Structure formats: C-alpha cells, structure tokens
Amino acid sequence: MSSEKQLSLFDLSNNDDSPESTSDSDSDFSLIPTDVKIPIPSGTYQTMEQIAVHCNQCHRCELGENRTNAVIGRGNPKAEIMIIGEAPGQNEDEQGLPFVGRSGQLLDKILQSVELSSDDVYISNAARCRPPENRTPTLKEIEACKPYLLEQIRLVDPKIILLTGATAVKALTGDKRGITKIRGQWMEWEGRLCMPIFHPSYLLRNPSREPGKPKWLMWQDIQAVKQKLEELQSDNNSIDF
Ligand code: SF4
C-alpha cells in the first residue's frame, strides 16, 4: 500500500467513531501505517486490544521481524499509575507480557512494599517488540513505536507515570540526562506528573540495601510516589463547594 493511501486511512477527519468502524479497523491489518513517517493520530484506538492487534502485525521498525509476541501491557488499563520500561526481553517476548522475569518479580515486590498491587498500576514499555540480544532499542525504533505508547497513555489516563531507567525517560520526555541524576525527581510531561526511577534490573545488579545505594533510593522514591498518589486522591475527594 502506498504511503499516501496509508496516510489517508489514518486521517482523523475521515474517521467514523462508531463501534462498527472500529471493528473494521481491527480486522484490516493493511490499515497499519508501515511507513514510520506516517503518524498514528491520537484517538485512533479505543481499546488496548485494538493496539495489540495492530502491534502484532506491525512492521514500522525492524523489531517486528523477529518478535514472537508484541508486548502491550499488563495490569489495570484504568490504573492511576502507569509504569513504562524499556523493551521486552526473552520472557516477555515469549509470554506477550511486560516485566515477567526476575525484574518483574522485583517490581511487584517494590509495589507491594507500599501496598500497591497490579490493580493499581498499568505496565508497558517504550518499545513493543524485543530487540535482538536484549540490546537497548534505538532512537529510531523508539520513535517508530511511540504512537502506540502515546495511545496507551491516553487510554489509561494515569495520574502518575513512572519511567524506569534512562531509555524510558528519553523515549517519553526527550530528557537525555542519566538516571542517577534525575531519579526521584518529579517532572511534568504534557500536563502529567512523571517520576524517573531505577529499572528493576539495575537493582538486581546492585542488591545492597545500605542507605544511599540504589535499592535504598528506590525505597525513598516509591514511598514518595505512594504519598503523592494519596495526596492526589484526597484532592479529588475534597468537597468542592
Ligand atoms: S517495536 Fe513497535 S514500531 Fe517496531 S515493529 Fe514492534 S510494534 Fe511496530
């Protein structure tokens, strides 16, 4: 399909918002813009399932060549906290779920330490397909996959976004600073509160819990996140008259 044809298919002005048109879009994989120069406009998808259907057929970047499963997300798609990682690894690629290996188990323990469960978070990645040899996704690959990430953020509409590691921070905000410099600092992106935190795999490599070490810093950060969430929730519950 030509780029022009693809572009016209994703022109919002031609979109019919009716459920019937959504279902048509689901079943016609030729509607996926395979040319990375073609944007996927905000509002293209109504559900995570639609994003999953398209990503499993997507070849906007070369990572689509070798995937077993595109990895979309896990957790509550209406959660108040969204966690964004880097890219799927081998376990994630095989199971089609993000953060399912040792890193995922550690992430779940970190959340549990402040009484957050998988129902309180939605977890996704900057890239939806596994890079070969688990390398870091390139900027080109991240940019190709970003429209899906932006659509997921729009659908979840989280109060707080946690960015695990420098790649996730760079992918979403463009901030290229090292994670040790910016972890634990609140930043705003598109009107949303974000906090960069260490990637759990970094904590697996640095297991010390001594004050000042990465695990201890993560403990400070996740407590700050829980506190901020409670503040935001109590603001929402305040009497407005
Ligand atoms: S990583 Fe993203 S852009 Fe690249 S092929 Fe997979 S779904 Fe498409």
Condensed to tens digits (0 to 9), the pLDDT of residues 159-211 reads 999 999 999 999 999 999 999 999 999 999 999 999 999 999 999 999 999 99
Q: What percent of the chain has pLDDT over 70?
A: 86
Q: Which atom of ligand 1 lies closest to the CA of 67?
A: 6
* Ligand 1 site-directed mutation target among 45, 57, 63, most atoms within 8 Å of CB: 63
Residue 56 has pLDDT above 80, yes or no: yes
User: How far lies 141's CA from each of 29, 96, 215, in Å?
Assistant: 20, 18, 30
Residue 192 belongs to a domain? yes
The answer to whether residue 186 sits within a structural domain is: yes
Instruction: Report the pLDDT value the prediction gives residue 143, as an integer from 0 to 100.
Output: 96
Q: Is the CB of 52 under 6 A from ligand 1?
A: no
The per-residue pLDDT for 150 is 98
Confirm whether 34 is domain-assigned: no
Ligand 1 midpoint to CA 12 (Å): 22
In the predicted model, is pLDDT for residue 222 greater than 80? yes
pLDDT 10s digits, 130-157: 999 999 999 999 999 999 999 999 999 9
The preferred substitution site among 38, 53, 61 for testing ligand 1, maximizing ligand atoms within 8 Å of CB, is 61
* Residues 124 and 72: beta-carbon distance below 8 Å: yes
Task: Say what the pLDDT of residue 14 is.
Answer: 41
149 Cβ inside 6 Å of ligand 1: no
Phi (first) and psi of residue 62, to 5 degrees: -70, -15
- 156, part of any domain: yes
CA distance 12 to 17: 10
The verdict on residue 54 lying in a domain is no
Work out the mean pLDDT of the chain and round it to a whole number: 89
What residues pair up with 122 in beta bridges, in sequence order? 75, 82
What total number of domains does the chain contain? 1
In a domain, 43, yes or no: no
Contact 154, 188 (CB under 8 A): no
pLDDT in the model for residue 240: 61
Residue whose tokens read 């634990």: 184
- β-bridge partners, 195: 162
Instruction: Give domain status of residue 130, yes or no.
Output: yes
Strands 192-197 and 187-189: antiparallel
Q: In the predicted model, is pLDDT for residue 112 greater than 50?
A: yes
145 touches ligand 1 (CB under 6 Å): yes
